[in-house]
Structure 1
Amino acid sequence: MQLIKNIFKFPRIIYFFIPIIIIVLLLSFLPINAVEISSIEFIGEANLAKSLTLQKTEIGGLSGITYNAKNNLYYAISDDRGQKANARFYTLKIDLSKGFLQNGKVIPVSVTTLLNENGQTFRSGETDTEGIALTNKATVFISSEGDAAKLINPFIKEFSLSSGREIATLPIPNKFLPNKSGNQGIRNNLAFESLTITPDKKHLFTATENALIQDGIAAKANIGTPCRILQYNLLNNQPEKEFLYQTESVSPFLNVTGKFASGLPDLLALDNQGHFLSLERSFTGLGFAISLFQVSLEGSDDIHQINSLLAVDSKNIKPVQKKLLLDLRTLDVLLDNIEGLTLGPKLPDGQQSLILISDNNFNFLQRTQILAFKIKIETPLIRLLRRLLPNLNP
């Protein structure tokens, strides 16, 4: 009789270990460092004074921003084409120590003029600098849209943080370069606005703000546009992959002027597994439509060998996955021309901050606007544990 009892005790031990074995197996297949944003909360705005100057340079045109956690400073690139001053980026302090942002808490610190490889300033009209991303080598990568109308190529260059001098240039695939025939390459002022580097500093990403000429139409009212995300390997500074990013269609509102513009002005790498925040911005005739999306490259097709999307059946191409996180029009905020975003420091409650910044176009009717958010980031491990243990609150 005791033997029979012992036989029936053995399976109970197995039942105890089965859930543990299942969890271990699941975790072994999960990309532990991959992240997902589970919530986003607006925590304030600040606006720089109009016509504010620093070092005899007007502050404006801030199209991209990146954060240096080591010294709690931000670097913001100006898209001034040399009309107000030489190509440059600004160093800013943004005070989030109280867990929110308010006017007076964004302080410009310095101006760094960009110098070419010969140590000279760039000529007026030679650059249209839009994106900026910090490395771990006391340098920043900066992207320029160039000028397609004048056949000035876009570029992605690395500059010293301290001197502003050019250190390296990344090669741009030919399909992105404008030609005399006007049948290929970037569209004017719709090129490399975005720039981001993965946390492990191994890959850099940029994207066209709108479609290449040979890929499709530019964004119009109620019509999106097929952008290309371009991936670089920073171990050899070579381009290696491209992905299709389709922007959302946006309806204009009271567009009495008939002017409309829409596109992808910035990307932000969240991890090393191909997850991003994307910023889509549209001028709708009456104000701006700004949206934040979570983006994943998982399952999307590499299109770097396709020179023209119009020359293939693009319906068979799997674009990147997108999920709307926030339509900023739902906030009680008068939005300006938001073009840049970056992660900031951890807030007092331990949550991650996010900063957005606007390009005022050096227009007196516009503002240099900084918006702050609190985002909750979860790894697959935390999401799995939350499902298994609903009361878990890490």
Structure 2
Amino acid sequence: MFCCITLLTGCSLPQVSAEERLFLPLSVEFLDEYVLPSQEFEGTRVGGLSAIAYERQSDRFFVLSDDRSNFAPARFYTLAMQIDTTNPEAAQIADVTLEQTTALQNPEGEPYASGSVDPEALVLSPRQSIFVASEGDTSQGIPPFIDEFDRTTGEWLNALPIPRRYIPGEQDGEPLGVQNNLSFESLAINPGGFTTQSGYVEPFRLFAATESSLAQDASTDATVGEPIRLLHYLVGEDLPSLLAEHLYPLEPTPDGVISNGLTELLVLDQAGHFLSLERTFGVMGAGAKLFQLAIADATDTSGIPRFGGDLRTIQPIRKQLLLDLRELGITLDNLEAMTLGPRLPDGSQSLILLSDDNFSENQKTQFLLFRLTGL
């Protein structure tokens, strides 16, 4: 027994910190870039693509335009992506083909009027619907929303409850609610919901986050990132309910950056692991970072109406940098969308990022393909 103890204590065993044990052993490998040619499709100008979701059963992607019904009615597209796996070690995007346009309808059954909506996020639900988040327009008094639509017709179906603290306004003479053009930018869905033989859809969880902090939470300390609130909903046959809310710490804004925000979330498993995409823009152009998140021990902040200057009593969502995309050696555009795609020939998971060209001739619609391992 003594010899065994001596042998074990003398071994050089790898030391794993408690922080590291919170995260999955993920790695990402960049495979390819594909730029969608400028085009019109079914009478719409294709651009402003701000959200993407993949459906494995049909091998199709659903892509949301953030057109505020200015160029055409607010809409999403269905598209097919051909991934060339001739070389399994270096898969490439061979082609992207648009197949269908679906206009979103407001609760009155009409297309959204120009300027009345700012669609920025989309997820597919297990009950054959889509959820879309709109930033609204605080300058025009238009509140944000997270609503459910029929994925075939675009018909409005339902609305998730938005807490009062998110609605733009004032309280005791201080600004309240989402900031203009910094509202709901991210949606993610837990794939746990499923349909039983009787047709009943098990409740599922949906997550939403704003691009930056609420007005009442905004930080005055440039050395720390803005405190963003992540909403956790339970969606079932009964009225959707808000289960919890957590603090997401945005990275501090680097010098020379004029725009810094959280643009997408992606659920990885049932244990509270996510990917997040943060995007910057400034004098050095566009930048983006991928993080792995662990929310299991994050404080529920739904009972905190305002974040004060001292957040040490709050356990935020834990983050781990996965990839700084500026290290890829390619020119990045305005990356706002992210989804898990089809499996690659070696069984690994593909990850696809997509940029919003802002309908600008000086920008591009950029698809980036990665191999994600460690799930």
TM-score over 0.5 for the alignment?
Answer: yes
Q: Superposition pairs for residues 97-246 of structure 1, below 5 Å?
A: 97-98=84-85, 99=88, 102=92, 104-179=94-169, 183-201=175-193, 202-217=204-219, 224-235=225-236, 236-246=239-249
- Unmatched segments (≥5 aa) in structure 1: 1-10, 16-33, 379-394
SS in 1 for 2:215: coil
SS in 2 for 1:260: strand
Pair 1:284-2:282 in alignment: yes
Correspondence for 1:81: 68
Pair 1:369-2:369 in alignment: no
What is the CA–CA distance in structure 2 between the aligned matches of 1:219 and 1:339, rounded to whole Å?
A: 26
Question: How far is the alpha carbon of 1:250 from its aligned partner?
Answer: 3.9
Correspondence for 2:15: none
Question: How far is the alpha carbon of 1:172 from its aligned partner?
Answer: 0.3
SS in 2 for 1:199: coil
Question: How far is the alpha carbon of 1:331 from its aligned partner?
Answer: 0.4
Contact 1:343 1:353 in 2 (8 A): yes
Question: How far is the alpha carbon of 1:35 from its aligned partner?
Answer: 7.6
- Unmatched segments (≥5 aa) in structure 2: 5-21, 194-203
For structure 1, which segment, 148-157 or 173-182, has the greater mean C-alpha deviation from structure 2 after superposition? 173-182
Contact 2:123 2:187 in 1 (8 A): yes
Correspondence for 1:61: 48
What is the CA–CA distance in structure 1 between the aligned matches of 2:119 and 2:352, rounded to whole Å?
A: 19
What is the CA–CA distance in structure 1 between the aligned matches of 2:155 and 2:258, rounded to whole Å?
A: 37
What is the CA–CA distance in structure 1 between the aligned matches of 2:25 and 2:189, rounded to whole Å?
A: 18
Question: How far is the alpha carbon of 1:189 from its aligned partner?
Answer: 0.7
Question: How far is the alpha carbon of 1:37 from its aligned partner?
Answer: 4.5
Contact 1:93 1:107 in 2 (8 A): yes
**Once the two structures are aligned, what percentage of the paired residues are identical?**
40
What is the CA–CA distance in structure 2 between the aligned matches of 1:154 and 1:264, rounded to whole Å?
A: 16
Correspondence for 2:37: 49
CA-to-partner distance for each residue in 1:223-246, whole Å, 9 max, x for gaps? 521111011011241112110011
Pair 1:269-2:267 in alignment: yes
State the number of aligned residues.
339
CA-to-partner distance for each residue in 1:61-100, whole Å, 9 max, x for gaps? 0111111111000011111111111110011111225155
Amino acid in structure 2 at the alignment position of 1:322: K
Amino acid in structure 1 at the alignment position of 2:245: E
CA-to-partner distance for each residue in 1:144-191, whole Å, 9 max, x for gaps? 000111221110011111101111111100011101566100001101
Contact 1:229 1:243 in 2 (8 A): yes
Contact 2:93 2:369 in 1 (8 A): no
Amino acid in structure 2 at the alignment position of 1:231: H
Amino acid in structure 2 at the alignment position of 1:172: I
Measured on the aligned residues, the alpha-carbon RMSD in Å equals 2.0
Contact 2:92 2:369 in 1 (8 A): no
Q: Superposition pairs for residues 319-338 of structure 1, below 5 Å?
A: 319-338=316-335
Amino acid in structure 1 at the alignment position of 2:281: F
User: Which residue of 243, 247, 251 maps to 1:248?
Assistant: 251
- Relative to structure 1, the CA distance from residue 336 to residue 101 in structure 2 (aligned partners, 3 Å threshold; closer, same or farther) is farther
For structure 1, which segment, 229-238 or 357-366, has the greater mean C-alpha deviation from structure 2 after superposition? 229-238
Question: How far is the alpha carbon of 1:313 from its aligned partner?
Answer: 3.6
What is the CA–CA distance in structure 1 between the aligned matches of 2:119 and 2:268, rounded to whole Å?
A: 23
- State the structure with more CA Rg: 1
SS in 2 for 1:183: strand
**Larger helix share, 1 or 2:** 1
- Relative to structure 1, the CA distance from residue 328 to residue 218 in structure 2 (aligned partners, 3 Å threshold; closer, same or farther) is farther
- Relative to structure 1, the CA distance from residue 159 to residue 101 in structure 2 (aligned partners, 3 Å threshold; closer, same or farther) is farther
Contact 1:219 1:261 in 2 (8 A): no
Amino acid in structure 2 at the alignment position of 1:260: I
Contact 2:52 2:62 in 1 (8 A): yes
Q: Superposition pairs for residues 332-351 of structure 1, below 5 Å?
A: 332-351=329-348
Question: How far is the alpha carbon of 1:269 from its aligned partner?
Answer: 0.6
Correspondence for 2:10: none
Contact 1:187 1:212 in 2 (8 A): yes
SS in 1 for 2:351: strand
SS in 2 for 1:175: helix
CA-to-partner distance for each residue in 1:198-247, whole Å, 9 max, x for gaps? 01031000101101011123897x65211110110112411121100111
**Larger strand share, 1 or 2:** 2
Question: How far is the alpha carbon of 1:265 from its aligned partner?
Answer: 0.6
CA-to-partner distance for each residue in 1:2-45, whole Å, 9 max, x for gaps? xxxxxxxxx9xxx9xxxxxxxxxxxxxxxxxx982521101101
What is the CA–CA distance in structure 1 between the aligned matches of 2:150 and 2:221, rounded to whole Å?
A: 35
What is the CA–CA distance in structure 1 between the aligned matches of 2:320 and 2:72, rounded to whole Å?
A: 39
Amino acid in structure 1 at the alignment position of 2:180: N
SS in 2 for 1:243: strand
Contact 2:32 2:368 in 1 (8 A): yes
What is the CA–CA distance in structure 1 between the aligned matches of 2:154 and 2:221, rounded to whole Å?
A: 35
What is the CA–CA distance in structure 1 between the aligned matches of 2:219 and 2:362, rounded to whole Å?
A: 30
Question: How far is the alpha carbon of 1:354 from its aligned partner?
Answer: 0.5
What is the CA–CA distance in structure 2 between the aligned matches of 1:216 and 1:298, rounded to whole Å?
A: 25
